[in-house]
Amino acid sequence: MEDHSLVRIATYYNHFEAELAKLKLEENGIYAFIKNEHIAQLQIGWANFELMVNDDQREAALAILEEPEAEEPAC
């Protein structure tokens, strides 16, 4: 039986940044989920968006998020 418990790999205070990180992981085949996404949107001001992944994908997810962003070519 596989362990699919979720672990937090990052906390963001900006929903946009949390979504970008989630999309980057999903593009690389890693299931990601933003904990407190809807609750945090109800709060005014300060919010914690916790990026969660399966425990068995934690190391791969962290490595992907640490990769530098590719720069767009100049026109």
Report whether 26 contacts 32 (CB < 8 A). Answer: yes
Q: What is the pLDDT of residues 5-59, one digit of tens each?
A: 999 999 998 889 999 999 999 999 999 999 987 765 555 556 789 999 999 999 9
Q: Is residue 10 part of a domain?
A: yes
Q: Is residue 41 part of a domain?
A: yes
- 3-state percent helix, strand, coil for the chain, nearest multiple of 5: 40, 25, 35
H or E element at residue 6? strand 6-12
Domain residues for the domain of 42 are 6-66
Q: Is residue 44 part of a domain?
A: yes
Q: Is residue 73 part of a domain?
A: no
Report if pTM > 0.85. no
Report whether 36 contacts 48 (CB < 8 A). Answer: yes
Residues whose CB falls within 8 Å of the CB of residue 25, separated by 6 or more in sequence, listed in order: 31, 32, 51, 53, 61, 64, 65
CATH of the domain at 13: 3.30.70
Domains: count for the chain? 1
